Structure 1
Amino acid sequence: MRATLIALPLLVLAACEGGGDPVQQALRDASAERHAATVVDGQVSGPDHAAMGHGPATPGAGDAAFAASEAAMHTGMAAASGDTVDEAYIAKMIAHHEGAIEMARVALAKSQDPEVRRMAQAVIDAQTVEIAEMRAWKPAAN
């Protein structure tokens, strides 16, 4: 009985991770399409995130602090590429993680909340390690 209780969540996770249910895959694909952004002349455009429930209709005062780092991240991700899916994934994730680090640096510089500052430092620490791992994987010929 205990083995069944342990194995069941693993089977559920495996089904989700490996593509599994075609309906779930279609939902993931549709979500990726909705969230795709295009960078034109350094400006990010794409779906209306507020209309999709991903943010306020009117940016708050705190949003301005992150505008430059967000734009740079999206520009970097759009510019990152690779000859294979693997290489493109690594390049885009490096740009994504670099953006997360820049946003965390903004939070460290401007936040007074100790918990936010702790989380921001944790992001910097973790993402720095992950970037190093991804760069180590990336073929030397690039």
Structure 2
Amino acid sequence: MTEVLEAEGGDPQVLEKARMSADKQRKEITELERLLGTGAAAASGGENPYAQAVEQMHQRMMAANGANPSETWMRKMVAHHRGGVDMSNVLLELGGDPRILEKARMTAADQAKEADELERMLQGEQVGAAAAAPAAPKATPATAAQASVPQRTEPAAKAKAEAPKAAAKAPAEPAADPHAGHDMNNMSNMSH
């Protein structure tokens, strides 16, 4: 599905998400193949316990469409991830090899997280790296003018700016005030 989206073109954020998803799923496939190779999976006899979950996932994925390739990819991937949760839950109910059950628990949590993130993207929210970066404040004429003037830090201004930091580090007991008893509004009478 990621290859289809890349061929169709789409929103850069969705394309990035699609590539990350494809890389992640390739790694998960390799891990599952490794688990199969160790004989950890028990042979299943009789009816396929996953048939219903797989069929529901398939139907949801086929029905999922969007207004453009990016939206369609996201909607189909939500159905895919929710199907992964359903299949993991089938295994967790059946029980079995502890290593496989742990992988199923991790897969269910991860697939639910991925589906939730895609649903937020569909609602227009920024997620992932785009959400982590703080939004730049909107420039107003006043802030634009301030930004163009280099700011100098004068020693007095610097000391004033650092005063709250120093106050936070001050000892619990108050120090003697050298100006105690002086009228700070009337500085003409002061001899020091």
TM-score range, shorter chain: 0.5 to 0.7
1:137 aligned residue: 121
Decide which of 49, 52, 55 is 1:68's aligned counterpart. Answer: 52
Once residues 85 and 107 of structure 2 are traced to their aligned partners in structure 1, the CA distance between those partners, rounded to angstroms, is 7
TM-score, normalised on structure 1? 0.54
TM-score, normalised on structure 2? 0.41
Code of the residue aligned with 2:118 in structure 1: it is M
* Mapping for residues 1-142 of structure 1, pairs under 5 Å: 61=45, 64-139=48-123
Per-residue deviation, 1:101: 0.5
Per-residue deviation, 1:111: 2.4
Once residues 67 and 107 of structure 1 are traced to their aligned partners in structure 2, the CA distance between those partners, rounded to angstroms, is 12
In terms of fraction of residues, the more strand-rich structure is 1
Identical counterparts, % of pairs: 29
Number of aligned residues: 83
In structure 2, do the counterparts of structure 1 residues 87 and 100 end up closer, same or farther at CA, with 3 Å as the change threshold? same
Code of the residue aligned with 1:95 in structure 2: it is A
Once residues 69 and 46 of structure 2 are traced to their aligned partners in structure 1, the CA distance between those partners, rounded to angstroms, is 36
RMSD between superposed Cα atoms in Å: 1.8
Once residues 84 and 123 of structure 2 are traced to their aligned partners in structure 1, the CA distance between those partners, rounded to angstroms, is 24
Once residues 84 and 63 of structure 1 are traced to their aligned partners in structure 2, the CA distance between those partners, rounded to angstroms, is 39
Structure 2 unaligned regions, length at least 5: 1-5, 8-43, 125-192
Code of the residue aligned with 2:55 in structure 1: it is A
Bigger-Rg structure (1/2): 2
Once residues 47 and 89 of structure 2 are traced to their aligned partners in structure 1, the CA distance between those partners, rounded to angstroms, is 14
Deviations 1:118-137 (A, max 9, x none): 00000011111111110100
Structure 1 unaligned regions, length at least 5: 1-17, 20-59
